[in-house]
Chains A and B, each alone.
Chain A
């Protein structure tokens, strides 16, 4: 399977703990996105990278959230001091942005479902 993969698929943690999620994009894709989705809502943008550069972070992303893509391949999303409101599905997507193209198709991974008790 050469699609986007995410690990773990499920994470249950206690409030106040730190958690880290990993995303492996489609290998030739240069862009990687993180979204958060709660029940009955559409995915909500968190941040994205082009290669290893983090180009945009949502204002909704508090200081407790940090994302990295150190070598321009896989990415990690860390949430520190988790709160119950962080419970959601965390989705990763990747795309190939070529030259002066105005947009690109984003391919989503299966997500990591986080439950904060």
Chain B
């Protein structure tokens, strides 16, 4: 099976850098995804790591280390609008080439002025 662990809450100030960690136990997966969800909104795709290393998309970067069963999302130059829940998710290795996502419980990020 698969399970993903994230901190439940993180608080940071505007302009700062914050890192949201995700550790996982899984029998195999294609890659690690990150989604953002504002209160009452739909999850929105942020980033995907198929391979180990760092992926950068604007102010957001994501990292994966399969040997350490660990990944993180890095948010730079924090803005108030970044206050949201952030979810890591894996797409398990199954016979029909993946599909479903298994999500962590989410990290609620609060950005303070």
Contacts and interface: CB of A to CB of B under 8 A. Distances in A.
A108 interface: yes
Interface residues of A, number: 29
Interface band, chain B: 20 to 34
A41 interface: yes
B105 A106 contact: no
Contact of B96 (A33, A56, A101): A56
A48 B99 contact: yes
Contact of A108 (B44, B98, B100, B104): B44
A40 interface: yes
A105 B45 contact: yes
B41 interface: yes
Contacts of B102: 45
A31 to B, nearest CB: 7
A41 B3 CA distance: 13
Contacts of B43: 43, 91, 93, 108
Given A102-B30, A102-B50, A106-B45, A40 B106 contact: yes
B104 A103 contact: no
Chain A interface helix/strand/loop/mixed: loop
A103 B48 contact: yes
B38 to A, nearest CB: 11
A110 interface: yes
A102 B102 CA distance: 15
A51 to B, nearest CB: 13
B104 A48 contact: no
A23 B41 CA distance: 16
Nearest to B41: A110
Interface of A: 4, 31, 33, 35, 40-45, 48, 50, 55-56, 58, 91, 93, 97, 100-103, 105-111
8 closest pairs, A vs B, by CB? A42-B103, A108-B42, A45-B100, A103-B30, A102-B30, A108-B43, A42-B87, A103-B91
Given A43-B103, A45-B102, A106-B45, 19 more contacts: A4-B42, A40-B106, A42-B87, A42-B103, A42-B104, A43-B87, A48-B99, A48-B100, A56-B99, A91-B43, A97-B97, A100-B97, A102-B50, A102-B97, A103-B30, A103-B50, A106-B101, A108-B43, A111-B42
